[in-house]
Amino acid sequence: MVMIYPLSNVSLTDKEKINVDYAFAASWISGTGLFVRQFEEMLADRVQRKHVVAVANGTLALELALKTMGIGPGHKVIVPALTFVAPAAAVLNVGAEPVLVDVSADHWTLDPELLPLHANAIIAVDLMGHPADYQALHVASGLPIIEDAAEAHGACYRGMPVGSFGVISTFSFHANKTITTGEGGAVLTDSDFLADNLRLVANHGMRPERPYFHEVVGSNYRMTNLTAAIGCGQMERWDELVAKRNQVAQWYDERLPKSFGRRPVMPWATEACWLYTVTHPERDRVVASLRECGIDARAIWCALPDLPLYAPYSTQGDYPIARRVAREAFLLPTSAVMSEEDVDTISGVLMHYA
């Protein structure tokens, strides 16, 4: 089936191209380059964080965050039962154990009232353009939080930008995210100590001042300068790219038949639409109809407790909310390059289920 309306699409302009050409012409293509530094500074500025370390992707950003916080074998990390799999996989990849916790029906992010007592940290996911409830999570547990902001560039929690919460926060800049570098990620913190360790682990356990002296077992998590060149162009367009997706969401909102449910938004949240998400009791039929029309709609992820791999970590009840949302929700094509006519055409198919 040829998809006429892809689920997501990137928006690239001369801003990105000029930077890439410049890096190419100067042969600055490795992970040590001026665009990497500039990208980190622009992101720090944007979300009001003291330190940013650019890395190869959003999944490695989470692994680096966990390692730097000293989380490994014998530790438990709370992860929402409804999310793209990366946070749960990152916990297993550092040798720790995820503890899956259900999400709230009110906002689809971690339910602060369900946090188990025995855990070492929390990964809170700003799911589908909506922040987690950071104050409530903090009051309920006091545990160190990692904020996974991969799906919420531009969203706010009580007026503060996502990416500024938790001991450490992370972003992904994969091609389907709101701000993109193709593949890419970042780890952010206000702690000088953690920032120092993040850089150390991300660069083979050595410091630039002392080459080949390896203080800790490190690895290579670096983003390339070519990637960061694209990122610097995208950072300049942050407001525009966030606004365009919100415009697309508004066009969908205006046309959405009453039989569909919209992603819920709390009064304390400023949503920034990533992939427009709606629910319908006959989700699978609706998605099949859209796909037959060349519209690349997709059911959202399976609830993690329903994946055999994650069943052993699903010890906190029946996960009714994660399972219901996973059964009823689906994603509609969303990007900064979509027009109102595109949304009209796609919404036309939804009318059949009004």
Ligand X SMILES: *Cc1c(COP(=O)(O)O)cnc(C)c1O
Q: How far apart are CA 353 and CA 300, in angstroms?
A: 19
Q: How far is CA 6 from the centre of its chain?
A: 19
Site for ligand X, residues 310 to 349, rule: CB under 6 A: none
Q: At what angle do helices 238-255 and 225-236 cross, to 10 degrees?
A: 60
Cβ count near 126 (within 10 Å): 28
Q: Which window, 57-65, 93-101, 235-243, 335-343, contacts ligand X (CB under 6 A)? A: 57-65
**Cα–Cα nearest to 191, from 218, 162, 168, 161:** 168
CB of 213 to ligand X, least distance (A): 31
CB of 153 to ligand X, least distance (A): 11
Q: At what angle do helices 283-292 and 340-350 cross, to 10 degrees?
A: 130
CB of 148 to ligand X, least distance (A): 5
What's the number of CA atoms in the CB half-sphere (13 Å) around residue 262?
A: 18
Q: Which window, 35-43, 53-61, 160-168, 329-337, contacts ligand X (CB under 6 A)? A: 53-61
**68 is a contact residue toward ligand X (CB under 6 A):** no
Q: DSSP assignment of 116-148, as one string?
A: -SS-SEEEEE-GGG----HHHHHHHH---EEEE
Q: Which two tokens stand for residue 228?
A: 């960061």
Q: Which window, 145-153, 161-169, 244-252, 276-284, contacts ligand X (CB under 6 A)? A: 145-153
Residue type, 301: W
Q: Which window, 51-59, 72-80, 157-165, 252-260, contacts ligand X (CB under 6 A)? A: 51-59
**5 is a contact residue toward ligand X (CB under 6 A):** no
Going by C-beta distance under 8 Å and a sequence separation of 6 or more, which residues neighbour residue 169? 47, 49, 146, 147, 148, 149, 162, 163, 187, 188, 189
Is the Cβ of residue 82 or residue 201 nearer to ligand X in the bound state?
82
Is the Cβ of residue 96 or residue 350 nearer to ligand X in the bound state?
96
Q: Which window, 95-103, 148-156, 250-258, 261-269, contacts ligand X (CB under 6 A)? A: 148-156
Q: Which window, 34-42, 147-155, 226-234, 295-303, contacts ligand X (CB under 6 A)? A: 147-155
Site for ligand X, residues 77 to 96, rule: CB under 6 A: 83-84, 86-87
Which of helix, strand or coil describes residue 230?
helix
How many residues interact with ligand X (rule CB under 6 A)?
A: 14
Is the Cβ of residue 64 or residue 256 nearer to ligand X in the bound state?
64
CB of 346 to ligand X, least distance (A): 22
CB of 167 to ligand X, least distance (A): 17
Nearest residue (beta carbon) to ligand X: 58
CB of 245 to ligand X, least distance (A): 15
H runs (alpha helix) in 8-158: 14-25, 34-47, 58-68, 86-93, 134-141
Contact string (CB under 6 A) for ligand X, positions 103-132, x = contact = ----------------------x-------
Site for ligand X, residues 158 to 187, rule: CB under 6 A: 172, 174, 185
Distances, alpha carbon 83 to alpha carbons 37, 77, 140, 146, 169, in Å: 30, 15, 21, 14, 16
CB of 296 to ligand X, least distance (A): 17
The conformational region for residue 303 under phi > 0 = left, psi -120 to 50 = alpha, else beta, is: beta
Distances, alpha carbon 346 to alpha carbons 188, 272, 282, 300, 349, in Å: 37, 21, 17, 18, 6
User: Site residues (CB under 6 A) for ligand X?
Assistant: 57-59, 83-84, 86-87, 125, 148, 150-151, 172, 174, 185
